[in-house]
Chains A and B, each alone.
Chain A
Amino acid sequence: MSLLNNKPNEEDHIDRISDLPSNVIDGILQNLDIRDQVRTCILSTKWRYMWTYVPQLVFPASFFESYEHLDDSSPIVSEIITDVLMRHNGPIYKFFLLIVPDFNFKITVEHLDMWVPLLSRRGIKHLELVGYETGLSHLPYIVFSCKELTKFKLGGFNLSIPPNFSGFKRLLNLNLYNVTFESGALESLISGCPLLEKISIEDCNGFEYFDFSAPSLKVLLLYFDEDVKSICLKKANNLIDLRLIAMDCWVSGLIKSLPKNMQRFSIGSYVLTNKIPYADIIPLTLVKSSFNSIKYLELGAVKLNERKEILYIVNVLKSAPRLVELVVESNGHVDITQASDRSVELECSSCCLNQLKTVNINIRATSHQHAMSLIQFILANSTSLKTLTFNVRLESRELDASMLLSISQDLLLMKRASQSAQVKFIH
């Protein structure tokens, strides 16, 4: 009880930000834009060097944008970055150069040879070098000497791995955008990073297969082009979140294996036409052995006007007993003559979709018949369903008011296993 009298808090109370301990002030400083951060040097003599101890230097897009009007911004921009780095004291944990697209400043080998050794000595952990140049620079090997990296984002470079690469042993997060890999580079990179938990590969080329040992990997986002012929993920035992997006047409037999414990799986495509059926990309045998733990499933570019594809989806649903949320998208233009096909009769097995709560079906107007069969199947078998949203995008005048009305009526009449299910029809 004597503590009531000896209250330390009274004296500790601080009512000016400037009187706060410097590690607390750092909390604000490190979130400031680099110009605001450096400008604090002028606040007072006490503040003159405070900014130099903030372990974070972020040069965002807006910094580079402000020099866009110059014909050649290279000298002044690199001078500023060099000056900031030279004046900085203490560790640097975060360093970002986020260059805007179409900007006339390119991160060159000379720049990186100057800046990276300093960053490496100061213990850099989170490094982002993002450029959008189409004539890619080769990433200098000096970057591979940053042993403390935990997060690395790279954009707009040619990547090859030095022969003496000992790996980024602490790397958790790898984000590659617009990178061209020299032969074997991607594989060498990933196998040198045993702790990797999250990989994102977007708009990259130079690899034909993805079959890498990544024992700690939890999240994988992979955009792939038609050069990629095979994806094998059975070694990724910890992978729970997988997103695959095809930038071109995909190849038959693309997916050779999937992780066993996936919880989130999303697959889609930018290509609207000529997509081969899902059964040729992810065979049902594979679905049966890997969809057991899936809670969230998103299937894009589905050919909902084809009977086989609908049957495939039904089989997928039967193999995913833990599914909670489902999204099905069909964005392709569909051959109108197909639409008159008799809609598929789907067998209602007993309550196979016990956990399914939310469903989103997004289609173009012409494939609605088979979609209705799918919806009927889902409604009849989902005992926990809360919301089903059927979003039909109209093209020209395919659907008139009477058709919309008949769809609405059909939806209302469908038998529902879940009393509280709400069906939303958006058009």
Chain B
Amino acid sequence: MAQEASSSTSSKTISLKTGDGEIFEIEASAAKQMKTVQRLIDDLGDDITIPLHNVFSKELPKIIEYYKKDITGEITKDFEAEFVKDLNDDEVKVLFLAANYLDANKLFEFLSQNIADRLESKSVEYVRKYFGVENDFTPEEESKLREERAWSFRGIKEDE
């Protein structure tokens, strides 16, 4: 893919290659917000296509969309609400883990809050699955804990 030929650094674009081989362009100023990407640029130079083995073509465009908006200074609560509106819980999780890998702080913090909101009053089983946790309590231990913390087990919603 041809890179934009530009002599001014402010409109320089960086090429990113996903784990499944697709290439996306982002502005250098957006790349700066993703510390992992910036580190790779520092190591490899900004003329090379930066490989991101663990980010895929499904999620990278969404991340690029967020930082495109960020560099224009326009991220509002409305924008953030729209951004996640049509994503299901698993899609948000994938974005969250990608943001963690890319060390993209602003997006990461926003998604932390969004995940917390989505997990509100969800059942224990749902949260276990979501976090990737294996239950290793014995049935006795578990029921004792439930009894001790009965107040925190009130108001849980049924899984869909």
Which positions in B face A, CB cutoff 8 Å? 36, 43-44, 53-54, 93, 96-97, 100-101, 108-109, 112-113, 115-117, 119-122, 124, 127-128, 130-137, 142, 145-146, 149, 151-156
Instruction: Say how far B119's CB is from chain A's closest CB, in angstroms.
Output: 6
Which chain A residues numbered 1 to 28 have a C-beta less than 8 Å away from chain B?
Answer: 1, 3-4, 7, 9-10, 12-20, 24, 27-28
Contact A4–B97 (Cβ < 8 Å): no
Given the interface pairs A31-B112, A45-B136, the reply to whether A39 lies near B131 with Cβ below 8 Å is: no
Is B124 within 8 A of A31, CB to CB?
Answer: no
Known: A33-B120, A36-B120. 9 other contacts (CB 8 A): A13-B53, A35-B121, A36-B119, A42-B149, A43-B124, A44-B128, A44-B136, A46-B136, A48-B145
For residue A13, which residues in chain B have a CB less than 8 angstroms away from its CB?
53-54, 101
B93→A42 contact, CB < 8 A:
no
Contact status of A43 and B127, CB under 8 A, knowing A28-B112, A33-B120, A66-B154: yes
Whether the Cβ atoms of A9 and B53 lie closer than 8 Å is: yes
Task: Determine the distance from Cα of A35 to Cα of B134 in the docked complex, in whole angstroms.
Answer: 21
* Chain B residues with CB below 8 A from A17, complex form: 93, 96-97, 130-132
As a 0/1 sequence over residues 39 to 65 of chain A, the CB contacts with chain B under 8 angstroms (1 = contact) are 111111111100000000000000000
Which chain A residues numbered 207 to 265 have a C-beta less than 8 Å away from chain B?
A: none
Contact A35 B100, beta carbon cutoff 8 Å: no
Q: List 25 A-B contacts (CB under 8 A).
A: A14-B100, A14-B101, A17-B97, A17-B130, A18-B133, A28-B116, A28-B119, A30-B116, A31-B112, A32-B120, A34-B152, A35-B153, A35-B154, A35-B155, A39-B127, A39-B153, A41-B145, A42-B137, A42-B142, A43-B124, A43-B133, A44-B136, A44-B137, A48-B145, A66-B155
A38 beta carbon closer than 8 Å to chain B = yes
**B133 is contacted by which of A14, A29, A44, A66 (Cβ under 8 Å)?**
A44
* A31, A44, A45, A80: the one within 8 Å of B113 (CB): A31
Residue of B nearest to A3 (CB): B43
A12 touches B101 (CB 8 A): yes
Residues of B within 8 A of A20 (CB): 100
**Are A10 and B54 CB-contacts (below 8 A) given A36-B120, A80-B151?**
yes
* B102 closest partner in A (C-beta): A9
B89 CB, min distance to chain A CBs, angstroms: 11
> A39 with B136: in contact, given A4-B44, A9-B54, A24-B100 (CB under 8 Å)?
no
Select from chain A the residue with minimum beta-carbon distance to B121. A36
Choose one: A15, A32, A48; the contact of B97 (CB below 8 Å): A15
Task: List A contacts of B119 (CB < 8 A).
Answer: 28, 32, 36
Q: How far is the CB of A109 from chain B (nearest CB, A)?
A: 24
Which of A4, A20, A42, A80 has its CB near the most chain B CB atoms (within 10 A)? A42
Q: Which residue of A lies closest to B117 (CB)?
A: A31
Number of A-B contacts (CB under 8 A): 106
**Majority SS of interface residues in chain B?**
helix
Q: Which residues of A contact B124 (CB under 8 A)?
A: 39, 42-43
Shortest Cβ distance from residue B141 to the other chain A in the assembled complex, whole angstroms? 8
B152 and A18: CB pair below 8 A? Answer: no
A345 to chain B, nearest CB (A): 43
Partner of B53, one of A10, A29, A33, A34: A10
Q: Are A42 and B145 in contact, CB atoms less than 8 angstroms apart? A: yes
Closest CB in chain B relative to A47 CB, distance in Å: 6
**Are the C-beta atoms of B132 and A32 separated by less than 8 Å?**
no
Q: How far is it, in angstroms, between the C-alpha of A15 and the C-alpha of B132 when the chains are bound?
A: 9
- Contact in complex: A38, B53 (CB < 8 Å): no
Q: Which residues of A contact B120 (CB under 8 A)?
A: 32-33, 36
B44 adjacent to A43 (CB under 8 Å): no
CB atoms of A19 and B132 under 8 A apart: yes
Q: Is the CB of B101 within 8 A of A16?
A: no
Closest Cβ of chain B to A326, distance in Å, is 23
B109 touches A35 (CB 8 A): no
Q: Which of B109, B113, B128, B149 interacts with A43 by CB under 8 Å?
A: B128
Contact between A31 and B145 (Cβ–Cβ < 8 Å)? no
> Would A9 and B101 count as touching, CB distance under 8 A?
yes
B116 touches A43 (CB 8 A): no
> Given the complex of chains A and B, what is the CA–CA distance between A160 and B130 in angstroms?
49
Closest 8 CB pairs of A and B: A16-B132, A31-B116, A27-B112, A13-B54, A38-B152, A18-B131, A17-B131, A35-B152
Q: Which residues of B contact A15 (CB under 8 A)?
A: 97, 132
Q: In the complex, A18→B133 CA distance in Å?
A: 6
Q: In the complex the two chains form, what is the Cα distance from A148 to B131 in whole Å?
A: 34
Distance (whole angstroms) from the CB of A322 to the closest CB of chain B: 21
Nearest chain B CB to A349 CB, angstrom units: 35
- Convert A126-138 into 0s and 1s, putting 1 for each residue whose CB lies closer than 8 angstroms to a CB of B: 0000000000000
When distances are taken between beta carbons in the complex, the residues of chain B under 8 Å from A9 are 36, 53-54, 101
**Known: A18-B131, A28-B116, A66-B154. Contact between A42 and B146, CB under 8 A?**
yes
